[in-house]
Each structure stands twice: as structure tokens, then as C-alpha cells.
Structure 1
Amino acid sequence: MRAAITWLDRLSAFLNKIALWGAVLTVSALVAIAFWQAAARYLLDQPPAWTEELARYLMVWAGLLGASCAFRIHADPSLFPDARRRQDGLGQIFAVIRAMGALIFIAPILWYCTFGLNGKMASGYIARNARISAETLDIPMSAFALAIPIGFGLIFLHLLANLGTALTRRVTD
């Protein structure tokens, strides 16, 4: 059991590094696009229409990837900020409460990203966004909508890894 949890924690750490790089790259692109938009507006008097829309979508990607990274390292808002440092049974209880609270929040999001109200994948959030294009970018909206299930899927994976690590840690009395 400990080997599986160690593997899961390593996978979580590896994907966290990728998500952190993704967040850094999207914020960098967001800054560059916002700079171009301001320069084009005030220096050239011709702001491109696509910059504002792309900046909005990059902000969503950066925010969700960054949120998953924050959750992994316990930098998210918490009812029990010192729970991670506790090595006793109370720390394990805090870890379970944190996991349950996060799961209550993310489970419906992941469900409705995949399935619609009728329980069919064709009416889920991603499928609905695949049928429409961004206004100025001629890219399917699902390319941007995928940020939600990817970000929350990473949070779910980090949740499992953090919970497993907390529950299999040797309890010191």
C-alpha cells in the first residue's frame, strides 16, 4: 500500500512541475499579449481584436494550473493551516476533513465537465464547447474549456496523494 501511495505522490509531484511550468508560460504569454495590446492601442492606434480574448483564456489556464500547484503544497486557504505539520492522529483527521471538503467542491465540477444534466457526454461542458469557436480566434472553445477539468483533475490527484501520504505516515504519540 505504501508503495502505491509513494508512486502516486511522485506522479503528483511530477505533474505539479509540469503544471507550474504551464502556469509560468501562460502568465508570460499573458503579459506579452497584454503588452502588445497596450502598445498597439496607444502607439499604433490599432489594437488587434484577438489580444483581449486570448488574454482572458490564458488567465483561466494560468489560474487553474496555479491553483493546482497551490493545492499540492498546501498554499491554498485552509481551516487547518498547521495540519500538514502534525504527525499525530489529529493531523490525519485534519487531512481527511480537508480532502472531504475539496472533494465536495471538485466532484460536481469534474462530473459536469464530462457529463451534462441528462448524464450524457454529448451534453457535457467540454462537448458543448467543442461545437463553438472563440469569437476572434477561430479555435474551438474546448481548447480553453479544457483548463477546468485539467486543473481540477490535478487538484483531485494531489488530494489523493496528500491524503494517502497523511494517512500512511507513522503516527507519533
Structure 2
Amino acid sequence: MNRAARALIAASDRIDRVCLLSAKAALVAMVAVIGVQIVARYGLRSPPGWTEELARYLMVWGGLLGATAAFRRGLDPAVTRRDETARGWSGRLARVALVVAVALLVVPILYFSFFGPGLDPGRSFLMRNLARTSSGLGINLIFIAAAIPTFCIVILAHLAARIVGGPLKTQVPEHAADIG
């Protein structure tokens, strides 16, 4: 493996650590916010309006960042039943299928995140959310909408690392059931 491939894998690994830690933090925060909502609703009979909205936004960020970590480890839904790390035509076919499937999903999402009809950035998904504010929290919705292009960019970084080095090896407990 050459220096560029090792650097690409190292960068993907650093991004993965940040995404996984952030996904865990978002999940813990979401559970805490829902706990506050439950106590306030059933204990105090006066739930704050912001808890449900914040929990939803934490779920979006946590879910998308967690999905990137799953993708990096090869725990995403299988595009093919071929081993992408195999040598020969089988491995190459699996890597091509992976690249095509990911590109078909991610490239249009990225395009419309940054550009609207006629390559107009002012009509893009992000710019439309820049002009909106959440009702419960009063924050600009671009902070929530940014989760989608962030997810796509991280997936592309992980895709490049998977192509040159394969998915991260996961530690599966011996008692884990095989669902494949």
C-alpha cells in the first residue's frame, strides 16, 4: 500500500472517530432530553416545547453520523454478496458495485445541497434552510440541514478508504448471531 492510500485511510479513521464519538454524544443527549420531557410531562404536567424538537434534531445528527461509522466498518446493507477485499474479478466487481451504489445515492444529494435548479446556489437545500428558524428552539435550520451534506461528504471519504483498504475490522462477540 502506498503512502497516499495510507494517508487516505488514516484521514478516514480520524473522521470516523470524530463521527462515532459525536453520534454517541447525540444519542446520550437525545435520551437525556427525552427524559426531561417525560419528567416534565408526567411529573410536572408542563412539558417544555423545545424538548421534542431538540430530541428530533439530535436523532437526525446522531443517526446520520452513526450511519457513516457503520459504512466505514462495512456494516451497511450489502450491495453484493461478494467480498470487496477479495483479489481478482470478484473483489473488483464488488468494489465497482459499491462505488456505483454510493455515487447514485450521494452525488445527487450533494448537488442539491449546494445548488438549486439552473446551478443556482441561492435555491439550494442549504440556502433555503438558512432563511428558516425552528419554532421551538429559535435556531437557524441550516445547522440541522448541514447534517445531510456532512453525511454525504463523510461517506465519500470512507468510500475512498474502503476502496483502497477495505472496511474497518469490527470485533464481533463470539455469541453474536449470524443474520447473513
Q: Shared topology, TM-score over 0.5?
A: yes
Instruction: Show structure 1 runs of 4+ deviating over 3 A.
Output: none
Map 1:8-157; keep pairs closer than 5 Å.
8-157=8-157
Match of 2:170 in 1: none
Give me the whole-angstrom Cα distance separating, in 2, the residues matched to 1:75 and 1:101.
Answer: 15
What is the aligned-residue identity percentage?
A: 34
Counterpart residue type for residue 84 of structure 2: R
Contact map agreement 1:114 1:124 (CA 8 A) in 2: yes
Give me the whole-angstrom Cα distance separating, in 2, the residues matched to 1:19 and 1:81.
Answer: 27
Contact map agreement 2:80 2:97 (CA 8 A) in 1: no
Give me the whole-angstrom Cα distance separating, in 2, the residues matched to 1:34 and 1:23.
Answer: 16
The CA deviation at 1:5 is 1.7
Aligned length: 166
Contact map agreement 1:116 1:125 (CA 8 A) in 2: yes
Counterpart residue type for residue 24 of structure 2: V
Give me the whole-angstrom Cα distance separating, in 2, the residues matched to 1:153 and 1:81.
Answer: 25
Return the structure number with greater helix share.
Answer: 1
Which structure has more relative contact order (CA 8 Å, sep 6+)? It is: 1
Give me the whole-angstrom Cα distance separating, in 2, the residues matched to 1:55 and 1:148.
Answer: 17
The CA deviation at 1:80 is 2.5
The CA deviation at 1:97 is 1.1
- Structure 1, residues 43-95: CA drift from partner, whole Å, max 9, x if none? 00000000001111111001100111111110000132451342333112211
Match of 1:171 in 2: none
Unaligned runs of at least 5 residues, structure 1: 167-173
Counterpart residue type for residue 148 of structure 2: I
Match of 1:165 in 2: 165
Give me the whole-angstrom Cα distance separating, in 1, the residues matched to 2:150 and 2:79.
Answer: 25
Q: Taking structure 1 as reference, are residues 36 and 81 closer, same or farther at Cα in structure 2, changes over 3 Å only?
A: farther
Match of 1:4 in 2: 4
Q: SS at the partner of 1:84?
A: coil
Contact map agreement 1:64 1:152 (CA 8 A) in 2: no
- Structure 1, residues 106-142: CA drift from partner, whole Å, max 9, x if none? 1000111111122121111111101110011111000
Q: SS at the partner of 1:6?
A: helix
